[in-house]
């Protein structure tokens, strides 16, 4: 059975179990099993992953911008294990809430250095 992963997964929105947007599938990470067969290990999301996928000057720019907005460059992409994917339809739907995934390094940086400095941001409803 042949599956067109690029058409089926890349650039689809990733939505958690509660319907909250997690990001988009910017790339796919593969692993190799004990018998030497490759399999999809996880979905990658974030500017760093997208920049690596695009490549060239534009890709390097995306990675540089992502690195600028983190405390610890180079920015690793958010890795969503395939085991957390419930189904793929118009979006990639997860079986877990977004809070169970590691935070995006860029979002964490923006939250610490920008959002938290806005007066009243601590009282905002989530």
- Quick check: 3 and 82 in contact, CB under 8 A? no
Number of domains in the chain: 1
- Quick check: 73 and 40 in contact, CB under 8 A? no
Per-residue model confidence as pLDDT tens digits over 31-80: 999 999 999 899 988 777 777 777 888 877 777 777 666 666 565 778 89
**pTM of this prediction?**
0.69
Per-residue model confidence as pLDDT tens digits over 95-117: 999 888 876 666 666 667 677 77
Read off the CATH number of the domain in which 119 is found: 2.30.30.240
Find the domain containing 52 and state its range: 5-123
CA nearest to 14, candidates 109, 107, 87: 87
DSSP string, 55-69: -HHHHHHHHHHHHHT
């Amino acid at each position: 059975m042949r599956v067109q992963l690029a058409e089926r997964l890349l650039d689809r929105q990733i939505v958690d179990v509660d319907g909250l947007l997690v990001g988009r599938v910017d790339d796919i990470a593969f692993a190799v099993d004990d018998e030497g067969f490759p399999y999809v290990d996880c979905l990658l999301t974030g500017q760093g992953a997208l920049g690596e996928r695009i490549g060239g000057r534009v890709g390097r720019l995306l990675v540089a911008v992502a690195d600028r907005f983190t405390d610890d460059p180079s920015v690793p992409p958010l890795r969503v294990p395939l085991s957390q994917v419930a189904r793929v339809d118009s979006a990639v739907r997860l079986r877990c809430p977004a809070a169970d995934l590691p935070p995006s390094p860029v979002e964490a940086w923006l939250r610490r250095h920008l959002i938290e400095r806005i007066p009243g941001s601590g009282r905002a409803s989530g």
